[in-house]
Amino acid sequence: MTKSRIAAVDVGNDSIKAIFGEFDNELNIPNIVARDTEDRPVIGIEELDTKDPLDGIHIRVHSPALKDNNAIYRVGNLATKSDNATELDPGSSKSEEDQTLIMLFATLALDAVNEDNAKLFPKSKNVIDANYTLGTGLPLREVKEGKDAGYRSKLVGSVHQVEFLVTPKYQGLKVNIKFDEVKVYPEGFAAYINLVMDNSLKIINKDLIDRRILIQDIGGLSTDIAVIKNRNVDDDKAQGFNLGVSEALEQIREEIRSKHGVELDSRTDVVEIITRKNDRNHIMVKGSRTSVHDITDRILLELAKKQYRLLRNVWAKNSQTEICYFVGGGATVLKEYIKTLNNNLDGYNIEFFEDEKESIWMMANAYYKLIMDFVKKSDKSKTATEPVKS
């Protein structure tokens, strides 16, 4: 019998963050796909297997869960080089997009073909059978609309196949993915779990346990504000908004192209320009270091004002709130702008994570804690109900 492997996957609008097994593998892949043909041209085909597979993900995906089944895609870094690359659009529902599933299946398949897992999954010729117990999540708005059940049903009970085409090291391999269990968590609740508990779900932040907290999770396409009271998310007061950073990143990308004639491959490139430690908000134009501060500051300040307005409105309805934590990749992008607004305006008690990786990986870490807890409880339950051998 195939052993089920733990997978905690945050299908973020900017990138996929995934944790596997006993924290023995992590993957971070830009959430970008591009339709492609079976034989993509490769310069120096004989050198293909010396390259990083993550830079050349080229796959065919077969799944009954997909609207467009059996199609061929470039994924992640490779897709950014395509003219027809697609990123998730503002207003779209993560649970209903083929792209969400394509990225999820591709990420799991990349873990399954990792040579470190050769003993874990059976392989017959070029086909690997991989079973996963998955913890993942959806924006609060979609969970409140009941879309989590439909999303889960797309995954369980079916076989989803990823075939690696012209991909370094993995060309010709196929992975059949099955799910033994899928747990879909609301993102706001997950953020709370990650704030107060360690990987064993032991409480590590006692100061927060009985406080009234807001958690404003700013993503690419949406913002969730979880209201925590009495150690639980208040479902009635928690809110999801169709406001993320993706639209602003696209606007920055377009203005840089229009003003400086520089074509950036994806939103990920824009984020890198905004957040890097050295030469932040600068690009190279015809070999010269050029500031784009005027573009980024204007657009991001405008978005920060909208995010601050959301905070103000939700706090007004939850006046006994003690602190708001800003999390997610969008919070990393907007941190300095929101801090400045808050200092000049209302002076709320707000907190950001100075460790940018911790903020960006918060959801994946939370899903990992939750799915591990589920598995441990399931194992204990099975042990308790097993007949005693004489």
Handedness of CA 58, 64, 66, 68 (dihedral sign): positive
Q: What is the DSSP string of 277-295?
A: SSSTTEEEETTEEEE-HHH
The closest alpha carbon to 132, from 153, 114, 109, 115, belongs to 109
Q: Which two tokens stand for residue 16?
A: 């996929």
Residue 266: what pLDDT? 82
How does pLDDT run along the chain (390 residues), one tens digit per residue?
468 999 999 998 888 999 999 999 999 999 999 999 887 766 555 467 778 999 999 999 999 999 999 999 999 999 988 888 887 777 678 899 999 999 999 999 999 999 988 899 999 999 999 999 999 999 888 888 899 999 999 999 899 999 999 999 999 999 999 999 999 998 777 778 877 888 777 887 777 777 888 999 888 888 889 888 877 778 778 788 888 898 999 999 999 999 999 998 888 889 889 988 888 899 999 999 999 999 999 999 999 999 999 999 999 999 999 999 998 888 889 999 999 999 999 999 999 876 777 778 888 999 999 999 899 888 777 666 655 554
Helical packing angle, 187-196 and 362-385, nearest 10°? 80
Q: Is there a contact between 153 and 146 (Cβ–Cβ < 8 Å)?
A: no
Pairing of strands 25-30, 15-20: antiparallel
Q: Is there a contact between 59 and 166 (Cβ–Cβ < 8 Å)?
A: no
* Alpha carbon 30 to its chain's center: 9
3 state DSSP class of 181 = strand
Residue 277: what pLDDT? 81
SS3 per residue for 63-111: CCCCCCCCEEEEEHHHHHHCCCCECCCCCCCHHHCHHHHHHHHHHHHHH
Give whole-number Cα distances, 92 to 141, 147, 243, 337, in Å.
Answer: 12, 13, 11, 26
Residue 19: what pLDDT? 96
Provide the 8-state DSSP code for 349: -
Buried b (16+ CB within 10 A) or exposed e, 241-254: bebbbbbbbbbbbe
Torsions phi, psi for 97 (to 5 deg)? -95, 130
Cβ-based neighbour number of residue 277 at 10 Å: 6
Buried b (16+ CB within 10 A) or exposed e, 335-369: bebbeebbeeeeeeebebbeebeebbbbbbbbbbb
The tokens 């591709």 sit on which residue?
Answer: 106
Angle at 20 between CA 196 and CA 162, to 5 degrees: 135
The closest alpha carbon to 140, from 100, 188, 182, belongs to 188
Residue 386: what pLDDT? 59
Note the CATH number of domain 4-185.
Answer: 3.30.420.40
Provide the 8-state DSSP code for 197: B
The closest alpha carbon to 240, from 209, 257, 217, 261, belongs to 217
Task: Find residue 34's DSSP bridge partners.
Answer: 74
Q: Which two tokens stand for residue 232?
A: 């639980």
Residue 390: what pLDDT? 44
Q: Which amino acid is at 315?
A: W
